[in-house]
């Protein structure tokens, strides 16, 4: 169901594929956040925040999470690449007419120019994501910013 026809219908048709695709990635990211948080919570500045009388919730959400997200952002950009690959299969499962079905049809017909085009588009998406990641990285981590 395309977005132009019905927003609700589109949301309805996209929910399950998105869930199928996102669940495994969310597990990978949860793992990253956990290990980063374990490291950050042992830092001195968390002890200092506790000594300032901040609530546990404020410490975790404001002081710890922002620092823990720095390594997670890097992983996130790799995850986007993996998600794009996963989308090829999820499209098949949910019979979505997307770039994945196009690629598979092209393989079957040995349509090399079409495959080249698809790869080019995917690479452009990945590069755009990497660029956004690098900018986000600078925003969230002052050490990576030119002063």
Partner 1 sequence: MTDTTVPAPRTPRPAWMKPATLAVVVPSVAVLATLVVCALFAGWLAPYDPLSQNLINALQGPSADHWLGTDDLGRDVLSRMIFGSRIAVIAACEATGLAVLIGVPVGLFIGYRGGWWDWITMRIVEGIVSIPGIMVAIVIIAILGTGLHRAMFALGILYSTAFLRLARSIVLTEREEVYVKFARVIGASSSRILIRHIFLNIAPPLIVQVTLTVGAVLLAEAGLSFIGIGVQPPQASWGTMLNTAAAYMELNAFLAVPPGLAIVLTVLAVNLLGDVLRDSIGRGVRVPASAPSKPAAQVRVAAGTSIAARPDDALLVEGLEVMVSPKDGGEVPVVTNMSFRIARGETLGLFGESRSGKTVTGLGLMGSIGAGGWITRGRMMLDGTDLLRLTPAQLEKARGNDVAMVFQDPTTSLNPSMTVEQIITEPMKVHSQMARQERRQKAAELLRLVNLPETHLPRYPNEFSGGQRQRIAIAAALALQPKLIVLDEPVSALDVSTQNQIINLLYERRDALGMSYLLIAYDLALVHHISDRIAVMYLGHIVEEGPADRVYHRPAHPYTKALLDAVPLLDPARQRARRSERRAAAADDLPRAADAGCPYRNRCAFAMERCHRHAPPALPVDGGGTAQCFLVDAHRAGVSAPEAEVLV
Name the residues that contact partner 1, by CB under 8 A.
Answer: 34-35, 38-39, 41-45, 47-55, 58, 63, 66-67, 70, 81-82, 84-86, 88-89, 92-93, 100, 103-104, 106-108, 110, 112, 115, 118-119, 122-123, 126-127, 130, 140-143, 147
**Nearest residue (CB) to partner 1, 12 versus 58:** 58
Task: Tell me whether residue 1 or residue 125 sits nearer to partner 1 (CB atom).
Answer: 125
> What does the DSSP assignment read for 96-125?
--SHHHHHHHHHHTT-HHHHHHHHHHHHHH
CB of 28 to partner 1, least distance (A): 12
Minimum CB distance to partner 1 smaller for 12 or for 47: 47
CB 7 → partner 1: shortest distance, Å?
A: 28
6 versus 55: smaller Cβ distance to partner 1 = 55
Q: Are 145 and 138 in contact (CB under 8 A)?
A: yes
Nearer Cβ to partner 1 (5/142): 142
Tell me how far, at minimum, the Cβ of 17 lies from partner 1, in Å: 14
- Tell the smallest beta-carbon distance from residue 26 to partner 1 (Å): 17
């Amino acid at each position: 169901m395309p977005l132009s026809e019905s927003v609700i219908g589109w949301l309805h048709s996209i929910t399950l594929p998105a869930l199928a695709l996102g669940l495994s990635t969310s597990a990978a990211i949860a793992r990253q956040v956990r290990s980063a948080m374990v490291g950050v919570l042992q830092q001195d500045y968390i002890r200092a925040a506790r000594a300032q009388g901040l609530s546990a919730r404020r410490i975790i959400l404001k002081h710890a999470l922002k620092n823990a997200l720095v390594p997670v952002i890097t992983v996130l950009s790799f995850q986007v690449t993996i998600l794009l690959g996963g989308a090829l299969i999820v499209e098949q499962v949910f019979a979505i007419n997307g770039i994945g079905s196009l690629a598979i049809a092209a393989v079957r017909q040995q349509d090399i120019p079409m495959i080249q085009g698809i790869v080019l588009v995917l690479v452009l998406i990945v590069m755009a994501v990497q660029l956004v990641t690098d900018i986000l990285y600078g925003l969230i981590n002052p050490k990576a910013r030119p002063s």
